[in-house]
Amino acid sequence: MVDLLLGLQWGDEGKGKIVDVLTKDYDIIARFQGGPNAGHTLEFDGIKHVLHTIPSGIFHKNAINIVGNGVVIDPVIFKKELDNLDKFNIDIVSKLLISRKAHLILPTHRLLDAASEAAKGKAKIGSTLKGIGPTYMDKTGRNGMRVGDLEFGNWKKKYRALADKHEAMIGFYNVDVQYNLAELETEFFDAVETLKKLSFIDSEEYIFKAQANGQKILAEGAQGSLLDIDFGTYPYVTSSNTTAAGACTGLGVPPNKIEKVYGIFKAYTTRVGSGPFPTELFDQDGETMGRVGNEFGATTGRPRRCGWLDLVALKYAVQINGVTDLMMMKSDVLSGFDKLKVCTAYQYKGETIQHLPYNIESKNVTPVYTELKGWAADLTKMTKAEDLPKALNDYIAFLEQELQVPIKIVSVGPDRLQTIRR
Ligand code: IMP
Q: Is 332 annotated as a binding residue?
A: yes
Q: How many CB atoms lie within 10 A of CB 123?
A: 10
278 close to ligand 1 (CB < 6 Angstrom): no
* 369 touches 344 (CB < 8 A): yes
φ, ψ (nearest 5 deg) of residue 353: -125, 160
Nearest residue to 373 via CA among 401, 340, 396 = 340
**Quick one: how many helices (H) and strands (E) in the chain?**
12, 20
The CA distance from 85 to 90, in Å, is: 7
In the set 3, 20, 40, 109, the catalytic residue is 40
Ligand 1 centre distance from Cα of residue 400 (Å):
28
Mutate to test the pocket of ligand 1, among 237, 238, 240, 302 (most ligand atoms within 8 A of CB): 238
Ligand 1 centre distance from Cα of residue 9 (Å):
12
Q: Is 330 annotated as a binding residue?
A: yes
φ, ψ (nearest 5 deg) of residue 77: -70, -35
Ligand 1 centre distance from Cα of residue 128 (Å):
6
φ, ψ (nearest 5 deg) of residue 328: -100, 125
φ, ψ (nearest 5 deg) of residue 364: -95, -15
Please name the residue whose Cα sits nearest to atom 19 of ligand 1. Answer: 38
Q: How many CB atoms lie within 10 A of CB 324?
A: 17
Q: Is 186 annotated as a binding residue?
A: no
Mutate to test the pocket of ligand 1, among 51, 71, 127, 304 (most ligand atoms within 8 A of CB): 127
* The model's pTM: 0.96
273 close to ligand 1 (CB < 6 Angstrom): yes
The CA distance from 383 to 186, in Å, is: 50
For the chain of 422 residues, list the mean pLDDT of each consecutive stretch of 10.
97 92 95 95 89 94 96 98 93 96 98 97 94 98 98 96 97 93 98 97 98 97 97 97 98 97 98 95 97 90 95 98 98 97 96 94 92 97 96 98 98 95 95
The DSSP 8-state label assigned to residue 415 in this structure reads: B
Upper half-sphere CA count for residue 62 (Cβ side, 13 Å)? 9
**236, exposed or middle or buried, with CB in 10 Å at 0-12, 13-18, 19+?**
buried
The CA distance from 235 to 125, in Å, is: 7
Q: Is 300 annotated as a binding residue?
A: yes
- Amino acid at the residue 199: S
Mutate to test the pocket of ligand 1, among 227, 265, 266 (most ligand atoms within 8 A of CB): 227
φ, ψ (nearest 5 deg) of residue 236: -85, 70
Measured from the Cα of 127, ligand 1's closest atom is 5
- Amino acid at the residue 210: A
In the set 103, 130, 139, 315, the catalytic residue is 139
Measured from the Cα of 302, ligand 1's closest atom is 12
The CA distance from 136 to 243, in Å, is: 16
Q: Does the annotation count 139 as an active-site position?
A: yes
Helix, strand, coil content of the chain in percent (nearest 5): 40, 25, 40
Q: What is the pLDDT of residue 146?
A: 98
In the set 3, 12, 138, 228, the catalytic residue is 12
Q: Is 298 annotated as a binding residue?
A: yes
226 close to ligand 1 (CB < 6 Angstrom): no
Q: Does the annotation count 12 as an active-site position?
A: yes
In which element (H, E) is residue 411 found?
strand 407-411
* 265 touches 328 (CB < 8 A): yes
Q: How far is CA 338 from CA 105, 139, 375, in A?
A: 47, 49, 7
* 56 touches 247 (CB < 8 A): no
What string of DSSP letters covers 320-375? HHT--EEEEE-GGGGTT-SEEEEEEEEEETTEEESS--SS--GGGEEEEEEEEE--
Nearest residue to 15 via CA among 57, 68, 61, 64 = 57
What string of DSSP letters covers 374-407? ---S--TT--SGGGS-HHHHHHHHHHHHHH-S-E
For 105-170, the three-class secondary structure string (H helix, E strand, C coil) is CCHHHHHHHHHHHHHHHHHCCCCCCCCHHHHHHHHHCCCCCEHHHHHCCCHHHHHHHHHHHHHHHH
Q: Does the annotation count 190 as an active-site position?
A: no
